[in-house]
Structure formats: structure tokens, C-alpha cells
């Protein structure tokens, strides 16, 4: 990690170590997050609130599944696909997971090239991320279509506990919405990067404020969060 450079190194290290440093920052009667811009801090706080929303969805799913006396449909079978005559369990979800992880990888590298002010590569990697995201949403649309055709509804399904449909549509639907918004966010920022807005400090259309390459990292935070939520959905809804 020798090449690591922190944002605004004048404040990069806490004045005190560990908990004392945290207390000093929070009690400083100034800004608590010294070397973190407001944009990044607000994105983190938004993501924290989003964490609670998704937690509540997963919790209600857990409560429904634990309290029902009807057997829960086996996700391994429900999401199985027949590919070339082979019956492969959960394969679509596995592919979706890999697609989303790949998008996270390209996003992380986009952030890196953004801070190196490599305009073209940053935009290209962001567009690749958006393409992976769109692929993910497309596969999710396919999955929804398949399940709806098989008779899954929010109030019932052919295999077991009726709450399965409600949990499935609510959790994956909300996550898919997040991915869709992320794709739009990525395309908007990639356009700005490609146009060179952050090199010439062009002012934003809505805000009239200058933009910086940090917005790529902030976009990245949102995108990685979408991937992070999928990790939990994959574990609890599809694998459990």
C-alpha cells in the first residue's frame, strides 16, 4: 500500500489514535468528517439509511419464513434453469451475481482512473459498469417473467408458503430499482467525464457548481452499495 495517497493529506491522520481520535473529531465543534467532502459524507449517510431499508425488507422476509407453518419453496429448484438439456440449480442467479461483481470491478477501476484524470478510460469503464448493470436488470426482468408465467404472485405460488411471492417481488424489485437508478446515475456522470466537465471545471446545469472527479468515487460508492446489497440478498433469499 506504498502508493496510497489520502484525500487532503493535511488532515489525513487523526490527531489522536483510535477512540480518542473519534471523540476529538466529533467533539471538535467543527465538521466531524475532517478529510471527507460533504458529497462523500452525504452519500455514506444516505447509504446507511438505505441499509436500514433493505435490512427491514430482509427482516420481514425472515419473520415471514420463520413463522409460517407451510413449507417454504426451495429457491434452488424455483430458480433452476434447463440449459442444453441440463437441469442446473440456481444458475441464473449465479450468473447475475458474477455480472454484478464484474460491474463492481470496472467501477472501482473507473474511480482510480478518475483520480488520475484519465478522462477517456474513466468514462469507458463507467459505461462498461452501466452495461453490466443493464444486463443485470435485463436478467432480472427475465427471471420475473419466468416466475410470473409459472404462477408466482405476491399472494401465492404453486410450491408453498404464499409469502414467498411477496418477499421475492419486494426485495428483488427494490434492488432492481436501485440498479436501474445506478445505471442512469452512471450514464449521466460518464457523459460529464467524457465531455471534460471536471477538467475545465464546467458548472453544473442544475447546481451551477463546479464538479470534481470525486463525483466518480461518490457514484462508485452508490454502485458498490448496490452490489453489497445483492451479496446479502443472494445469501439470505436465494441460498438460505
Residues 37-96 that bind other proteins (CB under 8 A): 37, 41, 44-45, 47-48, 51-52, 55, 59, 62-64, 66-71, 76, 89-90, 94
Which residue of 50, 115, 139, 174 would you call a contact of other proteins, by CB under 8 A? 115
CB of 27 to other proteins, least distance (A): 10
Which residue of 191, 201, 202, 203 would you call a contact of other proteins, by CB under 8 A? 201
Residue 29 near residue 23, CB atoms below 8 Å: no
For residues 163 and 145, give the distance between their C-alpha atoms in angstroms, rounded to a whole number: 18
CB of 143 to other proteins, least distance (A): 16
Q: CB-based burial of residue 68 (10 Å sphere; 0-12 exposed, 13-18 middle, 19+ buried)?
A: middle
CB of 97 to other proteins, least distance (A): 5
* Ramachandran category for residue 209: left, alpha or beta (phi over 0 → left; psi -120 to 50 → alpha): beta
- Chain-centroid distance of CA 55 in Å reads 14
Which residue of 57, 78, 92, 111 would you call a contact of other proteins, by CB under 8 A? 111
Residue 11 interacting with other proteins (CB under 8 A):
yes
Q: How far apart are the first and last CA of the chain?
A: 37
| Shorter beta-carbon distance to other proteins: residue 21 or 148 | 21
CB of 12 to other proteins, least distance (A): 8
| Shorter beta-carbon distance to other proteins: residue 6 or 148 | 6
Residue 168 near residue 152, CB atoms below 8 Å: yes
Residue 159 interacting with other proteins (CB under 8 A):
no
Segment interacting with other proteins, rule: CB under 8 A, options 134-142, 143-151, 177-185, 227-235: 227-235
Residue 226 near residue 97, CB atoms below 8 Å: no
Interaction residues for other proteins, span 161-180 (CB under 8 A): none
For residues 100 and 137, give the distance between their C-alpha atoms in angstroms, rounded to a whole number: 10
| Residue 204 grid coordinates | 453544473
Which residue of 50, 87, 92, 97 would you call a contact of other proteins, by CB under 8 A? 97
CB of 39 to other proteins, least distance (A): 9
| Residue 153 grid coordinates | 404472485
CB of 3 to other proteins, least distance (A): 5
Q: How many residues does the chain have?
A: 240
Rg (CA), the chain: 21
Amino acid at each position: 500500500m506504498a502508493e496510497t495517497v489520502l484525500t487532503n493529506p493535511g488532515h489525513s491522520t487523526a490527531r489522536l489514535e483510535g477512540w480518542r481520535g473519534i471523540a476529538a473529531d466529533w467533539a471538535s465543534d467543527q465538521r466531524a468528517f475532517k478529510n471527507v467532502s460533504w458529497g462523500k459524507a452525504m452519500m455514506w449517510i444516505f447509504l446507511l439509511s438505505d441499509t436500514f431499508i433493505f435490512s427491514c425488507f430482509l427482516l420481514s422476509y425472515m419473520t415471514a419464513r420463520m413463522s409460517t407453518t407451510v413449507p417454504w419453496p426451495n429457491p434452488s429448484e424455483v430458480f433452476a434453469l434447463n440449459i442444453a438439456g441440463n437441469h442446473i440449480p440456481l444458475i441464473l442467479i449465479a450468473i447475475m451475481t458474477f455480472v454484478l461483481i464484474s460491474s463492481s470491478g470496472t467501477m472501482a477501476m473507473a474511480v482510480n482512473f478518475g483520480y488520475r484524470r484519465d478522462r477517456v478510460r474513466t468514462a469507458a469503464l463507467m459505461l462498461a459498469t452501466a452495461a453490466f448493470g443493464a444486463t443485470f436488470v435485463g436478467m432480472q426482468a427475465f427471471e420475473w417473467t419466468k416466475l410470473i408465467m409459472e404462477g408466482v404472485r405476491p399472494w401465492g405460488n404453486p410450491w408453498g408458503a404464499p409469502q414467498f411471492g411477496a418477499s421475492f417481488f419486494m426485495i428483488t424489485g427494490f434492488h432492481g430499482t436501485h440498479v436501474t437508478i445506478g445505471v442512469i446515475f452512471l450514464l449521466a456522470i460518464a457523459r460529464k467525464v467524457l465531455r471534460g466537465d471536471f477538467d475545465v471545471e464546467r458548472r453544473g446545469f442544475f447546481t451551477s457548481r463546479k464538479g470534481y472527479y470525486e463525483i466518480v468515487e461518490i457514484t462508485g460508492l452508490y454502485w458498490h452499495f448496490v452490489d453489497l446489497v445483492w451479496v446479502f440478498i443472494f445469501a439470505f433469499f436465494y441460498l438460505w
